[in-house]
Amino acid sequence: MTIRKKTWLLCLLALMAIPLAAGAFSCQASASTQKQKAFKAYRKFLSKRKIDWDGDEYEPQIMSKLDFAIAYIDNNDVPELVIHNTRGPSHGVFGEGMVYIYWKGRLKKAGALGCSLMKWVRYYEKIGIIRDYSFDNFNRNWCYYYRLTGGKVRATGTESEYNYDDRRWEYSANFKKCSRKKYDQSIQAVTKNKTGKKFKWIKNTAANRKKYLK
């Protein structure tokens, strides 16, 4: 190959690379813009004085008494907002956590979590899975695995419950009762053998909103 042909080939390859680089840059800029829009919506929401916690079942909650966390739960570059009702009236009743997402250009409530046993609650980054651990007023502990998909928090059917009256655990996989072994296998399949992460809870103050949602 002559020098002239080599030069021409190198120039052609360089020209072909320009659109690819521009496309990658455009995708990065788009993701960054979406994240900024999401954070703006999150700041506005968290700045409210009160919110209706979960329909008529709970009293309106004072926002300054809630904690929030930012987490990459589903598989995109825009993190989700999770709020935790640490000092609300529910005292272990289902619904002490709420997941909000930036969906089609607006803030949307994706679903509720129990979250009353917060030290065991986990999320599995970028695969859309949340492990919720909670208890209720009927002498039961439960561990449910949820999937954030299609703008909603949905049950995966992988769950376990401990009944203190009967002193035993019950396990389910794909919404059917099963053995502990099959339950463990179902967890591995749902979480893709990833290690869950703890939510990093932040006090809902103006200074923290400015610091963590910028």
Which pLDDT tens digit goes with each residue over 20-39? Answer: 444 444 444 476 899 999 99
CB neighbour list of residue 126: distance below 8 Å, 6 or more residues apart? 72, 73, 74, 75
Q: Is residue 200 part of a domain?
A: yes
Residue at 18 is within a domain: no
Interval 124-143 mean pLDDT: 86
Range of the domain at 166: 45-212
Q: Would 40 be classed as within a structural domain?
A: no
pLDDT at 171 over 90: yes
N-term to C-term CA, the chain:
54
d(Cα 110, Cα 146) in Å, to the nearest integer?
Answer: 11
Among 80-94, 129-143, 163-177, 185-199, the least confident range: 80-94
For residue 50, what are its two tokens? 């009160």
- Secondary structure string (H, E, C) spanning the chain: CCHHHHHHHHHHHHHHHHHHHHHHHHHHHHHHHHHHHHHHHHHHHHCCCEECCECECCCCEEHHHCEEEEECCCCCCCCEEEEECCCCCCCCCCCCEEEEEEECCEEEEEEEECCCCHHHCEEECCCCEEEEEEECCCCEEEEEEEEEECCEEEEEEEEEEEECCCCEEEEEECCEEECHHHHHHHHHHHHCCCCCECCCCEECCHHHHHHHCC
Q: Does residue 71 lie in a domain region? A: yes
Give dist(CA 138, CA 213) in Å, integer.
38
Q: Rounded to whole angstroms, how far apart are CA atoms 149 and 114?
A: 18
Rounded Cα–Cα distance for residues 158 and 178 (Å): 10
Tens of pLDDT, residues 78-117: 999 999 886 554 444 445 889 999 999 999 999 988 877 7
pTM: 0.80
Domain count, the chain: 1
Residue 3's pLDDT band, with cuts at 50, 70 and 90, is: low
Q: Is residue 55 part of a domain?
A: yes
Residue with tokens 């655990």: 169
Q: Is residue 21 part of a domain?
A: no
The answer to the question of residue 6 being in a domain is: no
In the predicted structure, residue 12 carries a pLDDT above the cut 60: no
Considering the chain, what is the average pLDDT of its residues? 83
The Cα 83–Cα 195 span in angstroms is 22
Q: Which of 18-32, 35-49, 63-77, 175-189 has the lowest mean pLDDT?
A: 18-32
What percent of the chain is predicted at pLDDT more than 90?
A: 57
Of 4 and 183, the structure prediction assigns the larger pLDDT to 183
pLDDT digits (tens, 9 = 90+) for 56-69: 455 678 898 899 99
Give residue for tokens 């009702």: 85
Residue 187 lies in a domain: yes
